[in-house]
Amino acid sequence: MESVQAIKQRFGIIGNSQSLNRAIEKAIQVSPTDISVLVTGESGVGKESIPKIIHQLSHRKHNKYIAVNCGAIPEGTIDSELFGHEKGAFTGATQTRAGYFEVADGGTIFLDEVGELPLTTQVRLLRVLENGEFLKVGSSKVQKTDVRIVAATNVNMFEAIEKEKFREDLYYRLSTVDINLPPLRERQEDIHLLFRKFASDFALKYKMPTIKLTDNAIQILLKHRWGGNIRQLRNIAEQLSVLEQNRIISAEVLRSYLPATARTNLPAVIRTSKSESDFSSEREILYKVLFDMKADLNDLKKLTMELMKNGNVKDVEKNNESLIEKIYGSDDEEAIEDNDILAIPEHTPTEEGASPTQDKYYFAEEIEEEETLSLHDKELELIKKSLERHSGKRKLAAAELGISERTLYRKIKQYDL
């Protein structure tokens, strides 16, 4: 069995961090077996190196190794790519085609971004993992394949399972062994080493002197968060190699190439789009507001009926203090005068013996025992009384009734007043 150092030299892996060495050790240990492996880690950490190590150290090394980027294949064609199709299975299928599982029989398939697979394809893949069987698209003939599957993902699989975007049974079949590659920010001792390797490679590629960092620039390099991991570090090294005339890179120059929003190694705050639970919460709040409005309207109806039946404002105020305060925000007399919808301002009563408490309010009608509750009749009587009080002046009557003059005119025409 080859050593970790020998494997790193053979596959061009740079770094001496303990977490990286542990991941390579696990890859070496599982290589002779046929068990499925799931490689996890952030985008850009170099997950594609692990399947190559596993294949080259296995008994399948003389057979085919096929890497498939599941996220790059359209949902409508991925089944055909993986499992093949029969002639005429769909529009454009002019001939029978062998899929990757048929071509790689006896070898290894690396399914990169496996978390992006459609659910229908996940069912087919689960069957291959369980008994090595698959069906071509448009065929009813079961075919056999002997393929080692190594998958990789940067998706949080437990969240995907919870959201029903990934099958739980498939996850446990794929992750018989889970190999996690650490992000670059957790491999600080490797960052400068990787940068020097990239700088040397680009100097050779572009036939120019190798760039070097000052001590302050090295500190900036180590403190950066590297959200894009090794891929981002490589891009920065290439940009500096090509664009900078001065081959000694200062901290100020390096800082100008780093994203302004992520120049430190502090945790990043990522704002995600609204989830279904967020929309559900908003709906619940909206329903609550509507129910509260309905309750307020019912309270207002109750107070209105009390006023219409009792006719004595003081008694109504006394018996409904809490209700009045809830509706108008205050239980004092002035607030009621300012906000009361049904009451009409002060007038001089024409009837003899009117009590002082009735001087302040004048109701549209004395409620009889056999009162009518028709809105049509009440509206007609209120309009008549208001017009009589203001000697037919529509503007004053409309202001008193709380409606526009145009609406009042329409009502006068409607009731033929």
At 342, the pLDDT band (50, 70, 90 cuts) reads very low
CB neighbour list of residue 8: distance below 8 Å, 6 or more residues apart: 14, 15, 24
Place of tokens 């203001």: 390
Rounded CA separation 397/375 (Å): 19
Per DSSP, the residues of 248-279 read: EE-HHHHHHHS-GGG-SSSPP--PPPPPHHHH
**Considering the entire predicted model, what is its pTM?**
0.62
pLDDT for position 265: 57
Rounded CA separation 384/377 (Å): 11
pLDDT for position 378: 74
Q: How many CB atoms lie within 10 A of CB 302?
A: 13
Tell whether the model's pLDDT for residue 144 goes beyond 60: yes
Q: Does domain 185-262 have CATH number 1.10.10.10?
A: no
Q: How far lies 346's CA from each of 231, 343, 358, in Å? A: 81, 9, 9
Q: Does domain 4-182 have CATH number 3.30.160.110?
A: no
First-to-last alpha carbon distance for the chain, in angstroms, is 106
Rounded CA separation 247/237 (Å): 12
| Amino acid in the structure at residue 27 | A
Structure tokens at 151: 């998958």
Query: Could you tell me if 187 and 15 are in contact, meaning their C-beta atoms sit under 8 angstroms apart?
Result: yes
Query: Could you tell me if 55 and 45 are in contact, meaning their C-beta atoms sit under 8 angstroms apart?
Result: no
Rounded CA separation 392/61 (Å): 103
Sheet-wide strand order for 177-180: 65-69, 108-112, 148-153, 37-40, 177-180
pLDDT tens, 237-286?
999 999 999 999 999 999 999 987 555 555 554 454 555 555 566 667 77
pLDDT tens, 86-113?
998 888 888 999 999 999 999 999 999 9
Helix (H, G, I), strand (E, B) or coil at 381: helix
Rounded CA separation 13/46 (Å): 9
Rounded CA separation 313/22 (Å): 85
Please, how many CA atoms are within 13 Å of residue 259, restricted to the half-sphere of its CB?
A: 13
| Amino acid in the structure at residue 198 | F
CA 185 to mean position of chain CA atoms: 26
Query: Could you tell me if 78 and 70 are in contact, meaning their C-beta atoms sit under 8 angstroms apart?
Result: yes
Backbone phi, psi, residue 65, to 5°: -120, 120
Q: Give percent above pLDDT 90 in the chain.
A: 58
Strands 142-144, 133-135: pairing kind: antiparallel
pLDDT for position 313: 62
CA angle, residues 401, 405, 407, in degrees to nearest 5: 80
